[in-house]
Each structure stands twice: as C-alpha cells, then as structure tokens.
C-alpha cells in the first residue's frame, strides 16, 4: 500500500452523477488509505436527492464515515476553504456536465463551485473527474476551456459507450490518487485520454 498522500488535505467534492456514487466510495477509501485527510463537499443535488441508485442519506453516511468529517453542503461552509487555505487540492468526482459548465463560466451557485472558486484563489489545483453524457456534445466547449485553464487538471477519462452514447465520457476513478499527486506537482497525469477498452 502506497502512503503517498500522507499530510495532504483533499476536498472530495461530489456532484449529481448519481450512477457513479458506488464507485466514489472506493475512491474515497483509497485516498484515505494512502494517507490523505478528506473533507467531503457536496452539491445540493448530490446530497439531497434520492434516486434509483440509492437514498441520499446512504451516500452521505458512507462519505462522512470514510472521511470522519461532516459534509460541507452550504455556501457558508465552503467559503472559508479559500481564506483559511484549508485544502491542498480539490477533487470534484464525480463532476457533472452541469458543474463543469458552471466552472468554465465562472458561475458559483453551489457548495462545490464555491469550494472550487475559493480554493482556486490560492492558486492550488482543482482536479475534475468528469461523468457526463454531453462531454463531447454541448459541453465540449466547456471541457476545452477547462483543459486549457491554469490549475485545473483532469482524471484521465474515456468514452464509456461510444456506440450507445457517442458524446458521453467518464473518468477512470482508480487513477484519482495518482492524478491528485501529479496535479500537486503542476502536471496533468498522462495519458489523459484513454481508449474505450483501456
């Protein structure tokens, strides 16, 4: 077991890609096992909506248990992340198309976008683990904008169903720890773009 994240404070910001929550729990466990201290953050959609993928309370409890911290789920609680220099990195995983679009446009109206804005003001990295059906469609301009943005990095991602959902992309969750380490060195983990079967 690597302990390469010891001493790092990582904001794990969860947005409303409900179908991926099941994969975010092992991601969170992996980060803590590698030594990171996690601060869970969630959008209203992620923390407040029961879906066919499970009741919101279940995911909330899981995340808070792994992190040992209450979820930051208000603007007021997310704002101090900036002035307090509370985090080394913010990992938004899963990052919806909605949140990606807002980040690209400088819109700050959820606890997650507030956390990212607050953190970016310290010129510290934000890493996006995208999960959205429109990454190569209507959201492609926002994806492109963020690819070129300073201090914004990506979990390597792939088309998850090129035939069935031709504009959909999903991050490779298992690379979260490595992507965060790379981002803290100012580098994008490569290859960033994975093939469908990789």
Ligand X SMILES: Cc1cc2nc3c(=O)[nH]c(=O)nc-3n(C[C@H](O)[C@H](O)[C@H](O)COP(=O)(O)O)c2cc1C
Contact set with ligand X (CB under 6 A): 15-19, 43, 45-46, 51, 96-99, 110, 131-132
Please identify, using beta-carbon distances, which residue of 4 and 50 lies nearer to ligand X: 50
CB of 43 to ligand X, least distance (A): 3
Which letter does DSSP use for residue 36 in this model? P
Q: Find the shortest distance in angstroms from Cβ 12 to ligand X.
A: 14
Closest to ligand X by CB, 51 vs 74, is 51
Give the residue closest to ligand X by C-beta.
16
Q: Using the minimum distance from each CB to ligand X, give the nearer residue, 5 or 131.
A: 131
Residue 16 vs 177, nearer CB to ligand X: 16
Q: For the beta carbon of residue 44, count every other beta carbon within 10 angstroms.
A: 15
- Residue closer to ligand X, measured from CB, 5 or 132: 132
User: Could you give the CA distance from residue 160 to residue 166 in angstroms, rounded to a whole number?
Assistant: 9
> Which token pair is 130?
């995208």
Coil, helix or strand at residue 196: coil
Q: Using CA atoms, how far apart are residues 53 and 55, in angstroms rounded to an integer? A: 7
Helices (H), 19-175: 21-33, 44-48, 56-67, 75-78, 97-105, 111-120, 140-147
Identify the burial level of 1 via C-beta atoms within 10 angstroms of its C-beta, where 0-12 means exposed, 13-18 middle and 19 or more buried.
exposed
Q: How far is the CB of 83 from ligand X (least distance, A)?
A: 23
Tokens of 123: 């010129």
Closest approach, Cβ 30 to ligand X, in A, equals 21
Question: Of 125, 104, 37, 109, which is closest to residue 74 (Cα–Cα)?
Answer: 109
Q: Which is nearer to ligand X, 96 or 142 (CB)?
A: 96
């Amino acid at each position: 077991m690597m302990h390469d994240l010891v001493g790092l404070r990582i904001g794990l910001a969860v947005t409303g890609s409900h179908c991926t929550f099941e994969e975010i729990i092992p991601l969170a466990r992996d980060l803590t096992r590698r030594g990171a201290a996690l601060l869970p953050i969630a959008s209203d959609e992620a923390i407040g909506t029961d879906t066919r993928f499970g009741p919101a309370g279940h995911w909330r409890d899981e995340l808070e248990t792994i992190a040992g911290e209450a979820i930051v789920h208000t603007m007021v609680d997310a704002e101090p992340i900036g002035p307090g220099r509370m985090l080394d990195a913010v990992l938004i995983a899963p990052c919806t198309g909605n949140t990606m679009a807002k980040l690209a446009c400088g819109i700050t109206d959820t606890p997650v976008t507030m956390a990212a804005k607050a953190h970016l003001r310290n010129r510290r990295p934000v890493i996006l683990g995208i999960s959205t059906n429109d990454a190569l469609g209507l959201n492609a301009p926002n994806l492109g904008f963020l690819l070129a943005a300073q201090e914004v990095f990506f979990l390597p991602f792939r088309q998850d169903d090129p035939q069935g959902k031709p504009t959909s992309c999903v991050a490779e969750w298992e690379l979260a720890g490595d992507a965060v380490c790379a981002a803290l060195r100012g580098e994008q983990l490569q290859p960033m773009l994975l093939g469908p079967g990789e």
